[in-house]
Amino acid sequence: EYAEFLHCKSKKFTDFDEVRQEIEAETDRVTGTNKGISPVPINLRVYSPHVLNLTLIDLPGITKVPVGDQPQDIEYQIKDMILQFISRESSLILAVTPANMDLANSDALKMAKEVDPQGLRTIGVITKLDLMDEGTDARDVLENKLLPLRRGYIGVVNRSQKDIDGKKDIRAALAAERKFFLSHPAYRHMADRMGTPHLQKVLNQQLTNHIRETLPSLRSKLQSQLLSLEKEVEEYKNFRPDDPTRKTKALLQMVQQFGVDFEKRIEGSGDQVDTLELSGGARINRIFHERFPFELVKMEFDEKDLRREISYAIKNIHGVRQVETGLFTPDLAFEAIVKKQVVKLKEPCLKCVDLVIQELINTVRQCTSKGLSHPKQFPDAQRYPKNRGEGRKTSPSLLPVPILLLIDIELSYINTNHEDFIGFANAQQRNTQTNKKRAIPNQVRPPAPSGAGRGPSQLLPALEAGSEPVPTPSCPGRGVGARFTPGLETGKDEAPASQSPSQSGGNRAPAGPDSAPSCPPPHRLEAEGTATGTSRGAGGIGSTADTESEDGVQENTFSMDPQLERQVETIRNLVDSYVGIINKSIRDLMPKTIMHLMINN
């Protein structure tokens, strides 16, 4: 009988007291003298005609509270160490539990259950049966009734600490164990299936059967590994360091790895998830669905400028035939205004492309820097720094032509038959509803009984939409409180804005609550929400007509008759509806176009 240690290969130990001392000495060398731990095993092989072929791995017990030099997380370190060994499918688990402890609280059975939930690889061992309280026994456990295991339970009685200190012989200990099971009334009927010798036989038999079951899969796994190694050896037989094919292969592997890393960052994966900030595909998604819609919303146009542009477009389309303004609402004005608004979409679209390109460049840089942070996994990245630099220079490019093509497509045809387009009739109806809402604040107060001039019935023509001005030569003066604007026509019973009331042949009306309604001016009502060219002078309200100054520069302010106002509002509603359709379409097509033409490629 002799023993050998792996760390002492040339020495044979025939005295087993020396074996015990060497185990303690090697433990102190690896872990220190103050109860430290280490996952490095001590390999001991014992040769004897009295033992069976068996490989045992003695794992430490689970420590709950750190003692001595043990770290604060000693419990988790020991659990991790144990799991490294018992997780292997080729190993059998010996779950040792003392009999004087509740089986439901067994840490060994709990950990075995985690890696072997079916109980196919677990053998239960119950110790300290001789230390149980009087009147109690572990019969139900040993008969596999309480917590059943596929391979059952075996009870043993080991030497006590007093026996160990007294150096009680192993043979005498085995004889005492045999006597205990034969004499105990609860275990007498199962004495042949209890004890250390029976445990040795069961372990040898079950380990042999387990090896026989796992050997075919192990053999095929080894054969596949052998074939791959032989193939690699063949490649190295004619290996030359300066062979250009080796460099080409290394480059292709780097490019392939770069492609895998890039795709993971864009498509997302569970590897190395960044919990501090958004990166890669998540940032691009935010550009598509948050930043780009925000840029579109920021393009809100000025209401006053838009109405002025629509008014100018209508007038310019009619040209010299201004008398026909009230007959038709020109569709050319609608198309001109819509196209002008659609062209403005080019800027946010190109900005979206630039933002996505910048994110792709950042992703490329992160992928090329991976070799620096993981030199063992990616040694080629360390060996070829120039190639890494070229990879960083590579920027994903997309000509703005396809993006601008989307805008040009929208400009090429104005589809007024779109199902979401409100149409001319609905636009006019909306315009009418809007005017009804505005009618209340625009009503003129009825004249006071003492006022001279027109009565309420005489005010109706001036309130009707599109009506001509009603001349009132008897009331040329304009009261300070009058809420009227001059019409577009000049020279009809009114004086130019530069003249004073006395020059126009009238006297200034006295300011007072009754003065404004008693002498209304012969002009149309001012429409609410439109830009007016009225200004109060010392003698009344002057006007700035929609004309050009002496220098040929057009005035910013303008006024319009109710008929033109209604046309402007109608086209305004149509433009609003159609631009909303275009925005919805662009918001949907932009991410798809960028993904197809730039990111996927």
- CA distances 370 to 378, 388, 477, 523, Å, are 8, 10, 85, 78
Tokens at 98, concatenated: 């003392």
Pairing of the two strands 534-536 and 541-543: antiparallel
Q: Backbone dihedral region of 35: left (phi > 0), alpha (psi from -120 to 50 degrees) or beta?
A: left
Per residue in 130-160, pLDDT tens?
988 888 889 899 998 888 888 999 999 999 8
| Angle separating helix axes 562-594 and 346-368, nearest 10 degrees | 20
Residue-wise DSSP of 516-571: HHHS--SSPBPPTTS---EEE-SSSEEE--S-B-TTSPBPS-----HHHHHHHHHH
Question: 206 with 262, same domain?
Answer: no
Statement to judge: residues 159 and 59 lie in one domain: no
On whether residue 555 sits in a domain, the answer given is no
N residues, the chain: 601
Question: Could you tell me if 202 and 126 lie in one domain?
Answer: yes
Q: Judge whether 517 lies within some domain.
A: no
CATH number for the domain including 390? 1.20.120.1240
Bridge partners (DSSP) listed for residue 542: 535
- The count of domains in the chain is 3
pLDDT at 501: 40
d(CA 193, CA 155): 8
Residues 89-100 have a mean pLDDT of 90
More confident residue, 14 or 525: 14
Instruction: Measure the CA dihedral 138/142/143/149, to 10°.
Output: 130
Residues 6+ apart with CB under 8 A from 212: none
* Residue range 208-230: mean pLDDT, rounded: 90
CATH code at 217?
3.40.50.300
Lookup: tokens for 48: 């004897």
- Produce one character per residue of 548-578: b if its CB has 16 or more CB atoms within 10 Å, e if not: eeeeeeeeebbbbbbebbbbbbbbbbbbebb
Burial of 462 (0-12, 13-18, 19+ CB in 10 A): buried
* Pair 66, 93 in one domain: no
Strands 8-13 and 2-5: antiparallel
- CA 187, CA 138: separation in Å to the nearest integer? 9
Grade residue 46 by pLDDT with cuts at 50, 70 and 90. very high
pLDDT at 386 over 90: no
DSSP H or E stretch at residue 247: helix 244-267
pLDDT beyond 60 at 540 = no
Residue 4 within a domain: yes
- Establish if 341 belongs to a structural domain: yes
Q: In whole angstroms, give the CA distance from residue 566 to residue 560.
A: 10
Report the C-alpha dihedral over residues 33, 34, 39, 45, rounded to 10 degrees: 40
pLDDT digits (tens, 9 = 90+) for 300-313: 667 788 888 888 88
Query: Do 223 and 265 fall into the same domain?
Result: no
Pair (356, 304) in one structural domain: yes
Supply the DSSP string of 65-82, one letter for each residue: S--TT--TTHHHHHHHHH
Domain of 583 in residue numbering reads as: 251-434+560-600
| 185 conformational bin, left if phi > 0, alpha if psi -120 to 50, beta if neither | alpha
Q: Which H or E element spans position 93?
A: strand 93-98
Q: Tokens 């001016």 correspond to what residue?
A: 521
pLDDT of residue 471: 42
**SS3 call for 44:** strand
Q: Is the model more confident about 397 or about 525?
A: 397
Range with lowest mean pLDDT among 86-95, 197-206, 322-331: 322-331
The continuous run of DSSP H or E covering 5 comes out as strand 2-5
Assess whether pLDDT exceeds 50 at residue 464.
Answer: no
Complete DSSP assignment for 257-295 = HHHHHHHHHHH--STT--SSS--THHHHHHIIIIIHHHH
63 with 6, same domain: the answer is yes
Bridge partners (DSSP) of residue 524 are: none
Q: Are 92 and 123 in contact (CB under 8 A)?
A: yes
pLDDT, greater one: 125 or 543: 125
pLDDT at 550 over 60: no
Of the two residues 511 and 322, the one the predictor is more confident about is 322
Residues 61-76 have pLDDT tens digits of 888 888 877 888 888 8
Q: Which of 178, 207, 238 is where one domain is finished? A: 238
504 in a structural domain? no
Would you call 327 helix, strand, or coil by DSSP?
A: coil
Residue 118 inside a domain? The answer is yes
End-to-end CA separation in angstroms for the chain: 71
Share of the chain above pLDDT 90, in %: 16
To the question of pTM greater than 0.85 for the whole model, the response is: no
Residue 459 lies in a domain: no
User: Which among 583, 473, 484, 597 has a CA at the least distance from the CA of 542?
Assistant: 484
pLDDT score recorded for residue 515: 40
Last residue within a domain, chosen from 213, 238, 263 = 238
Does one domain contain both 188 and 330? Answer: no
Q: Are residues 296 and 418 in the same domain?
A: yes
> How far apart, in whole angstroms, are the C-alpha atoms of residue 526 and residue 483?
7
Residues 22 and 109 in one domain: no
Q: Please report the DSSP string for 344-395 in residue order.
A: TTHHHHHHHHHHHHHHHHHHHHHHHTHHHH-TTT-HHHHH-HHHHHHHHH--
Residue labelled with tokens 């095929």: 220
What's the whole-number mean pLDDT along residues 533-560? 42
134 and 108 both lie in a single domain: yes
Q: Which residues contact 33 (CB under 8 A, 6 or more apart)?
A: none
Last residue of a domain, one of 71, 99, 114: 71
- How would residue 246 be classed by pLDDT, with cut points 50, 70 and 90? confident
Residues 486, 559 contacting (CB under 8 angstroms) = yes
Q: What is the pLDDT of residues 312-340, one digit of tens each?
A: 888 888 777 764 455 566 778 888 888 98
If we measure between CA atoms, which residue out of 202, 226, 224, 222 comes closest to residue 214? 222
Answer yes or no: is 526 within a domain: no
Among 91-100, 143-152, 270-279, 547-556, the range scoring the smallest mean pLDDT is: 547-556
Question: Do 228 and 350 reside in the same domain of the chain?
Answer: no
